[in-house]
Amino acid sequence: MGVSTSSPEKGISLVTVDFPPVNALPVAGWFALAEAVRMAGRDPEVRCVVLAAAGRGFNAGVDIKEIQTDTQKALTGANRGCAEAFAAVYECETPVVAAVQGFCLGGGIGLVGNADAIVASDDATFGLPELDRGALGAATHLARLVPQHLMRALYYTARTVTAAELHAHGSVWRVVPRGELRAAALELAREIAVKDGQLLRLAKAALNGIDPVDVRRSYRFEQGFTFEAALSGVADRVRSSFGKDGD
């Protein structure tokens, strides 16, 4: 359980998240993920990082139960941890390929939205259930996956979209059966990793430099409204009903 790093092939680092039962990460988990991705990107022998997860789904966001036990401290920690993990993926010195299976919700959108490429299993679904959980955030990253008006509709309704739908929008590179996900992600990473390592790092910096939106600043702006929701009491009111309907 936790975050592990392995080297399945030359030039490729595999960072795997495993927090049973649904990969809802505690505060410490977000910081551990950020550190693992940053360390992988700093390794001069690594030319591509694959971000994957064990279990039923890729990511279910933050650990709501942890926030309910100590709202102020845990909420602050979760917001900082998510910001660091999302930024670590975006700022990783080498390209990051996200391998997504099952559900990718909340914080999971922050991770894949900041990845350089996404490979998904055919059972993968993506969404931001934030409004149903008394929170806000990661619209910055959802907006990198779908057009603006679709992003807003998905955000307001908390509905999800499939891997096939994202593939149609061009944000998912490839959709494969779940059993082929790891191989497909490594195949793309392998194609990237054969390039010159120094040139890849320059390319990553160049592409980040021409992004029209500063994702770190944009996400932190969103988080200010999460705190407002918490301070006003509306977040607690919504969170108190979370799980009562079998969620």
CA distance 109 to 113: 6
Q: Quickly tell me which residue has 């996956």 as its tokens.
A: 145
Residue 50 β-bridge partners = 14, 97
What is the average pLDDT across 165-190? 98
Could you tell me which CATH class the domain 2-180+197-207 is placed in?
alpha beta
The gap from C-alpha 157 to its chain's centroid, in whole angstroms, comes to: 20
Tally of CB atoms within 10 A around 205: 11
Rounded distance, CA 128 to CA 137, Å?
8
pLDDT in tens, 71-108: 677 778 888 999 999 999 999 999 999 999 999 999 99
Single pTM value for the model: 0.94
Q: How far apart are CA 227 and CA 244, in angstroms?
A: 24
pLDDT (tens digit, 9 = 90+) per residue, 16-48? 999 999 999 999 999 999 999 999 999 999 999
The domain limits of the chain are 2-180+197-207
DSSP conformation class of 212: S
Tokens of 96: 């990051």
